[in-house]
Amino acid sequence: NIIIHQITYTMFKFFCLLVFAVSSNAFTPTLESTKAKTCTNSRCYSGIVAPSSPTQINAMLEQTELPQKLYFEKEKEFPKVLGGLKIGLRKLVVVTGASSGLGLNAAATLAKTGRHFVVMAVRDIEKAKKVAKKMDMPEGSYVVMKLELGSLQSVRDFVENLKAFKSARPLNNLICNAAVYRPTDPEPAWTDDGFEMSMGVNHFGHFLLVNLLLEDMMKAKEARVCIVGSITGNTNTVGGGLVYPQANLGKLQGFEKGAKQPIEMADGKPFFGAKAYKDSKVCNMMTVSELHNRYHEKTGIVFSSMYPGCIAETALFREKRPWFRKAFPWFMKYVTGGYVGEVEAGERLAQVVDDPKCSKSNIYWSWNGGAQTVGRYSADGKPRGAGGAGGEIFENTQSDAVRDKETTRKMWDLSVKAVGLSEKEMLKV
C-alpha cells in the first residue's frame, strides 16, 4: 500500500507540473503568431504605422489583410428536394461539424445502424463528401449540407434548405457538436456578425439553430437535442477546476453590452483564448438546461448534454504547440486515464440520441467516471475512472456555476437578443 501511495503521489505531482506547463506555455502565442504585429516601418508607434505620404498609404493597403467574411449569400446552396423519399422510414438526424473528429464518427455510427438518415451540416461540403466515403458510410444514408456557424445568415439558410429537403417530414434528432478552440490567439477573431469566434460558433450559432428547429422537432415522436459539453466548462472536474483558466461568465457584462465587437469576452474582460472556449461550453450546457425548463414538458423533446472523454488527437487541438499535440495523448492515456479514441467517442455521442436508456431530459451524460478525479490504476495497468475509454454511461453532475438558474435565464435572454430571434420565431407552447 505504501508503494502504491508513493506511485500515486508521484503521478499526481507530474500531473500538476503538466497542468502548469499547459496553462503557462501552451496558451502562449508562438513566434509565428506574433510576427504579423511587428512593424517594419521606422515611423511606428504602438504597432500602428503613421503614414506621411501616398506611397506609405499604398504600402499599408498592400500589406494589410482585410477581414474576410466566413459566408457570402452567393454561397447559399440550391435547396435539395425529395428528401422524404431518401429518408424513408429512418429517423432524420442533423450533426453539425460532421466532417471530422467527434462529429464525423458520430455521423458514421448513426448512418451504419440503418435506423438513421444523417444530414452532415458542415462548412466544407467537398471535404465532407470525401471523408464520408472514407468512413464507408452507406450510400443513401446521408446528405451533406452547407452550414457556417460563424454566420447567422448561414444558419438561417441552412434551416430553410433543410426544411425544403425533408418537406413535411419532421426532424427527429439534432446534435450540436461543431466547435472552434483558439487558445494561442493573442487577439480575438470575429464571426460575420461581430461575435468573438469561439462564443459565436460554439454558442450563438448553435443557439439560433436549435431555436429555429424546435417547432419542427416537436412534431416528431421522441425527438432529442444533444449539445456537446465539456469538462473544461465544469469547475468540479480535474480539467475544469485545476487547469487555468477556469470558465467564468461573471455577471455576463459582455453579453449585456451586446457581445459584439469590440466586446471580447462574456464577462466583458480582455480576450483569453482558452477561457473563451470554456465560457462557450458553459453557455452550451446552460442552454440545454433552459431548453428543458422551457420546452420539455410541453413538447416532449429530450434535451441533453454529454462529455465524450478527452479526444486528445482531435483537430480541436490543431492550434496547440507541436510538443503539446505529441505529449498530450500519451499523458491522457497513460497518466490521467481520460483518453478516448475518436471512434469510441463518436459511438458515445451517437448513443445519446439512439439508445432508449438516454430518453431522460436535462441530463449531462458521461462514461467511466466523468473526469472528476485522476484515473485509478486497475489490474490491466491502465488508469480507470477519469472519463476515458471503456466504462458504462451514467448521469454526471455539473458544477454549481453551470447549474446557476439566475445566470442561466439571463444568458438565455441576452442570447435571444444577440442572435436577433424575433417573437414570431420563438417557439410558443
Residue corresponding to grid cell 439566475: 406
Does the pLDDT value for residue 27 go beyond 60? Answer: no
Between 12-16, 93-97, 192-196, 265-269, the lowest mean confidence (pLDDT) is in 12-16
Tell me: the pLDDT tens digits for 340-371? 889 999 999 999 999 999 999 999 998 876 44
pTM for this predicted structure: 0.79
Closest among 206, 97, 86, 74 to 143, alpha carbons compared: 86
Q: How many degrees, rounded to 5, is the angle at CA 403 between CA 400 and CA 406?
A: 110
DSSP string, 66-133: ----S--GGGPPPPP--HHHHHTTSEEEEEETTTSHHHHHHHHHHHHHSSEEEEEEES-HHHHHHHHH
Q: What is the pLDDT of residue 1?
A: 45
Average pLDDT of the chain? 80
Tell me: the pLDDT tens digits for 104-162? 999 999 999 999 999 999 999 999 999 999 999 999 999 999 999 999 999 999 999 99
Does the pLDDT value for residue 233 go beyond 90? Answer: no
CA separation, residue 21 to residues 26, 136, 141, 244, 335 (Å): 7, 40, 44, 10, 16
Tell me: the pLDDT tens digits for 243-278? 658 889 999 999 999 999 999 999 999 999 999 999
Alpha-carbon gap, residue 327 to 324, rounded angstroms: 5
Kindly indicate the confidence band of residue 332, based on its pLDDT and cuts at 50, 70 and 90: low
Q: What is the pLDDT of residue 312?
A: 58
Alpha-carbon gap, residue 33 to 11, rounded angstroms: 33
